[in-house]
Structures are given as C-alpha cells and as structure tokens.
Structure 1
Amino acid sequence: MRVYLPCTLPALTSAVEAGGLGPAPLTGYAVTPALTEWYASGDTEELEYVALTEAARASLRLLAADGAEAVPRRVVLAVEVPDGSVTVGVDLEERATVRLSEPVPMTKVAAVHIDDEYAVADVEAAIAALPASDGGDDDARFTVDGAEAHELMWYATQEIPDLLHP
C-alpha cells in the first residue's frame, strides 16, 4: 500500500542515518475507503494527490513544532508498506489518515516530495499563521493556504543525499 508520511529535512536526515523511519506507530496518509467514499468522483491518481496534500499539511505542523531547527520546506515521503501494517479509519476528521504499526526501512521509500526553495517564504508565513488559523482567523487561514498553493517537487530516492547536502 502506498502511504504518504509527513516529514522535515532534519527528520529525513535522522531517518537516513538510522536506516528507516520510526519508531512505530507512525501516522501517515493514504487512499482509504473513507477517502474514496467521500471523494467519489476521483480516480486513483486524484485520491493519491489528496492523501499527499494531507501529508503536506501535517509536515507544516511538524515544521511549526520544530521551531527554528527545521528548514521551512515541507517534506513528504511516499512509502510502500504491507497492507497488514496499516490501520485505517483512525481519524474520522481526516479521511486519509492511517497508522503504521511497524517502522519503515528506507528501502521502502519510493519517492520524496519537497517544497521548492521558492516556497520557503510562504511556508515560513504559514508556520507563523498556524495558531491564528487554528483559532478561526480567516486571514491566517489564507496565509496557510498560500503555502499549500505550492506544489511539492518529486525526487527519486537516489537524490536524497543531494536534498540533505545541497
């Protein structure tokens, strides 16, 4: 099953050094039955894009939690995991949310999605606006949405060292 895991550049560095992502449980995003039912008109590619977008939102929250330590670029890892290690239906508010019961070795990472450097200013603004956005401020929500307007770039796994050490 394809699962999208939210990440940051420092967390990706740690995962590479450790040889995988963990410990379990890990929260990810995938094409779940609830997502398919809710987004009835979409094909598989569209549904995977929705799951990727949810993971990018979660990456933004990870960046906010990391504070100044993390480079303000959203990172999402696309991983292939056995269906048996995935629990679906863990969060009714987020139809694409899944839990992974096992750590994910780096060999299961299929691709890395990351913000282009041009998105950094909008991601920084979105991080600063998150608390107000969560409080219902429409202007802050607009700022957060501004970061989401940037498409994540796709990188093959062999390009990870270049992402970590530009």
Structure 2
Amino acid sequence: MRVYVPATIAMLQRLVAEEELNPVSRTAFAVTPALRESYATGDDDELAEVAMTEAARASLRLIATEAGERERPEAAEGEHPAGSVMYRRAVIAADVDEVALRPDLDDAVVRLAAPLPLSAVASVHVDLSAAEAAVERAAEVVDAADLGDADAEFVLGDAEDHDLAWYATQELPFLLDLL
C-alpha cells in the first residue's frame, strides 16, 4: 500500500542517517476504503492527492512541535539548522505491506506496523524556499484552523497553496546537503 508519512526536515535527516524512520505514533495517510467512501467521485490519483494533502497538514503540526521545542529555555543553542529551513513541510511517499486502518481518527489515517525503512521510500515531497514564510505562519495556527477559526483557515490555505516539490529517494541526501 502506498502511504504518505508526514515529516520534517529533521526527520528526513534521521531517515537518511539511520536508514529508517519511526514516525510519530507511526501515523501515515493512504487511500483507504473509508476515504474512497467519503468521496462521491475521484480516481486513485485524486484520492492519493487528498491523502498527501492530509499528510502535509500533519507535517505542519510536527513543525509546530519542533518550533515549540526550539523556544524552550533548555533547548541547546544551534539545535536546529540556521535560518528557517525547519519551516518546510515534508511528506514521505512509501510502499509498505502492513498497516492498520484508523477510521476512528480520520478517513485516510493508517498506522504503520513497523518503522519505515529507507528502502520502502518511493519519493519525498518538500516545500521550496518560497513557502517558508507561509508555512511558518500556518504552523502557528494549524490547531485553531482545525477548530474552525476562519482567519486561521485562511492562513493555512496560504501555505497549502504551495505545491510540494517531488524528489526521488536517491536525491534526498543531496537535497538535505543543499538546505
């Protein structure tokens, strides 16, 4: 099954260094039966785009968490890369055999049965630098948007207007070096 795993730049760095990643709660998104049922129309490509968009939104939550940790007084100086590189959404597309469907959480949510090996990664999708300011603002309000705040939803929409760039798995180390 093709899954879309929300990530951050720091998580991508761990994936390359350790050749596997244990995503937060092993949460990923996929084209599930519940997702298919929730859309009256849409082919597999369109539904995959929905799952990837959900993963990109989850990436915003991960970025917000990292930003909060960065601001802790006990956070080490230089704990995150210089500049705003951390304000780029990332989604890992991977092919895995075992997932548990979690329609109780959302239509597209699945849980991975095991850590994600680098060998299962099909591609990586990352924001370009032009999206950083919008992503930073969206990370600050993603929870409010989920709760229905119209202004926050507008800010979130600005970030989601930026398309994620596609990178082949073998390009990932070079991409991270260039960031």
Tell me if TM exceeds 0.5.
Answer: yes
CA–CA distance in structure 2, aligned partners of residues 64 and 50 of structure 1: 22
CA contact (8 A) 1:130 1:140 kept: yes
Residue equivalent to 1:30 = 30
**Unaligned stretches of 5+ residues in structure 2:** 71-79
Give the structure 2 partner of residue 160 of structure 1: 172
Write the distance in 1 (CA, Å) between the matches of 2:143 and 2:56.
Answer: 17
Q: Please give the residue correspondences for 1:13-162 in structure 2 after superposition, counting only pairs within 5 Å.
A: 13-22=13-22, 26-67=26-67, 68=70, 69=80, 71-82=86-97, 85-88=98-101, 90-162=102-174
The runs of at least 4 consecutive aligned structure 1 residues that moved more than 3 Å come to none
The whole-number CA distance in structure 2 between the counterparts of 1:23 and 1:137 is 28
Question: 2:3–2:95: 8 Å Cα contact kept in structure 1?
Answer: yes
Distance 1:2 1:128, change over 3 A: same
Distance in 2 of aligned mates of 1:24 and 1:62: 9
Q: Using the alignment, how far apart are the partners of 1:95 and 1:58 within structure 2?
A: 14
5+ residue gaps in structure 1? none
Cα distance, 1:103 vs. partner?
Answer: 1.1
SS at match of 1:102: coil
Amino acid at match of 1:150: H
Distance 1:25 1:122 in 2: 26
What amino acid is the match of 1:138? A
Task: Indicate conservation of the 8 Å contact 2:3/2:94, yes or no.
Answer: yes
For residue 5 of structure 1, what is the amino acid of its counterpart? V
Question: Structure 1 pair 24/129, CA: closer, same or farther in 2 (3 Å)?
Answer: closer
- TM-score w.r.t. structure 2 length? 0.85
What is the identity percentage for the equivalent residue pairs of Structure 1 and Structure 2? 48
Q: Do 2:6 and 2:58's aligned partners in 1 also have CA atoms closer than 8 Å? A: yes
Distance 2:150 2:156 in 1: 10
Q: Secondary structure at the match of 2:138?
A: helix
